[in-house]
Structure 1
Amino acid sequence: MRVSSICEDCVCYDYDEELEAFVCTTDLDEDEMERFLKGTNTACPFYRPGGDYKTAGKQ
């Protein structure tokens, strides 16, 4: 599974109007960011599955 597809399904992946792009809203420290960018950590520890149906059900 591609990282981008994992991110697209995550609750922490939101649209930033200033950047006009989708970004991860999780606050990663330097070590976590380095591992993420290098791809050495295949599973994001902050990944929380979400979706339109799950989010709408909570409202």
Structure 2
Amino acid sequence: MKKKKTSTNCECCGNYVYDDDYGYYVCEMDLDEDEMRLFIQGEFKSCPYFQYGDEYRIVRHQM
């Protein structure tokens, strides 16, 4: 029986950024060993570091 891959919120997170040196997206937070394993496996469901990546939040605040 094949395990179903669960989705994460990383794609919407402000800490999930593209790294030009590596050529792929990485998490900017300092994850511990267990958190990193879950992140790499795509099973990091309830990340304590999640911040909604709303790049327009600063602009709306300045208005």
Q: From the superposition, tell whether residues 17 and 35 of structure 1 become closer, same or farther in structure 2 (CA, over 3 Å).
A: closer
Give me the whole-angstrom Cα distance separating, in 1, the residues matched to 2:27 and 2:53: 13
Question: What's the TM-score, normalizing by structure 1?
Answer: 0.67
1:44 correspondence with 2:51 = no
Q: CA deviation at 1:21?
A: 0.9
Runs of 4 or more, structure 1, over 6 Å off, are none
RMSD: 2.4
Q: Tell whether 2:37 aligns with 1:34.
A: yes
Q: 1:34 to 1:21 in 2, by over 3 A?
A: closer
- Extract unaligned runs of 5+ from structure 2: 1-5
Q: Does 1:24 align with 2:34?
A: no
Corresponding residue pairs, total: 56
The structure that is helix-richer by fraction is 1
Aligned residue in 2 for 1:2? 7
Greater RCO (Cα-Cα under 8 Å, separation 6 or more): 2
